[in-house]
Amino acid sequence: MWMESLQDLFFFIDEEGVFYALDLGGTNFRVLRVELGGKDRGVVHQEFAEASIPPALMSGSSDALFDYIAEKLASFVNDEERIYEQPAGKERELGFTFSFPVMQNSINSGTLIRWTKGFSIDDAVGQDVVVEITKALKRKGVDMRVAALINDTIGTLAGGRHSDPDVSVAVILGTGSNAAYVERAQAIPKWHGPLPKSGEMAINMEWGNFRSSHLPLTEYDSAMDAESLNPGEQIFEKLISGMYLGEILRRVLLRLAEEACFFGDEIPAKLRSPFILRTPEMSAMHHDTSPDLKVVGDKLKSVLEISHTSVKKRRVVVELINIISSRGARLAAAGILGVLKKLGKDVSKEKTIIAMDGGLYEHYTEYRKCLESTVFDLLGDATGTSVVFEHYVDGSGIGAALIAASHSLYLDDKF
């Protein structure tokens, strides 16, 4: 089942002023202050602060999570009061990037359908997350209005398209994974509302929840899914995204230890600990170029307490990493090809920019190279050069500020 949300976002105005963004999509969140300089100047200045969500809050209560976030927002605003003064009578306006499946009801309201990426806060499901954050902001004394609620894919698409109109697809590869694209409104049979002026709409695919009997699921995937917080959900995401690649590797190594005494007679105790092997560690091992695979040896020791591994064993570990990471990257590439095909961009000579963001894409070079080369292989020579990948750093935060600006209450001041 694919979740889609449709928004008429692309009426960017040449707004000037300061807007805020709150970007919550994983274990870290960011608050941003973005200064827009009006027509032709775009984003003239931005500042941000980042904080991580304490693990206990990922499965606590809705109030506890939103209070924590509102507190950080309060101290960000207090800090900046020294450098920036909000004009009297004008409320601060916020674009809220909330990167979980939401049933969007309007530009600034939406109910949480379910959590993904390791969050599990039952009393938030079914609630309007804008109402929740607004109540928390009030409790913490922050005077701020949520002007727009968006997803990270939509933010990246909007931020990318604002700087280059050839951006028509956005893909996030981070803790989770998802894609969004720009579609002609007339080509969307589900849309019964008024047609947007631009004639275009953004579609958030929630592709992480795609599943099909054609997906190459192994017993490791099935076991990981069954033991996860959201069994049966986000199956595509569990094959391709950063939250899960390291965990798949751990499961394979454990099996090797159990059935082939790969690490000696004893099974290393740490190998039994779910999610202990994170994707950044797996990536560091994958990129190890030292002749004796020193990084692999060091990581096995520091993370799993497995010492004295032979170079031969380390090579096997790297080969496994390569298999798991290229499977993920190639499946993600297949997803991207599907979107390009839907848009007819797989046969078009017109330039298409795919706006990319997320820690997995940014930091895991081998994964990124495999993803991009697979897309080009699948496209063949005909369109190879018209499709371009671009990394939009902070696209989702900036996109949220831009969309907040285009839905500002104070637009009438100027027009």
Under the binding rule (CB under 6 A), the answer on residue 408 touching ligand GLC is no
CB closest to ligand GLC, residue no: 176
Q: Which residue from 97, 178, 283, 325 is in contact with ligand GLC, where contact means CB under 6 A?
A: 178
Under the binding rule (CB under 6 A), the answer on residue 174 touching ligand GLC is yes
Q: Is 99 a catalytic residue?
A: yes
Shortest gap between Cβ of 92 and ligand GLC (angstroms)?
A: 25
Q: Which residue from 108, 134, 153, 352 is in contact with ligand GLC, where contact means CB under 6 A?
A: 153
Output 179-186 pairs: Cβ under 8 A, ≥24 positions apart. 179/153, 179/205, 179/207, 179/335, 179/336, 179/339, 180/151, 180/153, 180/154, 180/156, 180/204, 180/205, 181/157, 181/205, 181/339, 181/342, 181/343, 182/10, 182/157, 183/343, 185/8
* Radius of gyration for the alpha carbons in the chain, expressed in angstroms and rounded: 22
Give the number of residues in contact with ligand GLC, rule: CB under 6 A: 17
Helix (H), strand (E) at residue 383: none
DSSP β-bridge partners for residue 36: 17, 43
Q: Is 152 a catalytic residue?
A: yes
Residue span binding ligand GLC (CB under 6 A) among the ranges 142-150, 174-182, 219-227, 288-296: 174-182
**Helices then strands (H, E): number in the chain?**
12, 13
Q: Is 265 a catalytic residue?
A: no
Query: Considering 8, 67, 152, 221, which one is annotated as catalytic?
Result: 152
Query: Considering 5, 62, 99, 396, which one is annotated as catalytic?
Result: 99
Residue type, 3: M
- Which residues have a Cβ under 8 Å from the Cβ of 193 and sit 6 or more positions away? none
Residue span binding ligand GLC (CB under 6 A) among the ranges 47-55, 71-79, 168-176, 336-344: 168-176
Under the binding rule (CB under 6 A), the answer on residue 151 touching ligand GLC is yes
Beta carbon nearer to ligand GLC, 7 or 177: 177
Shortest gap between Cβ of 201 and ligand GLC (angstroms)?
A: 17
Shortest gap between Cβ of 206 and ligand GLC (angstroms)?
A: 6
Shortest gap between Cβ of 59 and ligand GLC (angstroms)?
A: 17
Under the binding rule (CB under 6 A), the answer on residue 395 touching ligand GLC is no
- Which residues have a Cβ under 8 Å from the Cβ of 305 and sit 6 or more positions away? 268, 269, 270
Question: Which tokens belong to 1?
Answer: 């089942």
Under the binding rule (CB under 6 A), the answer on residue 25 touching ligand GLC is yes
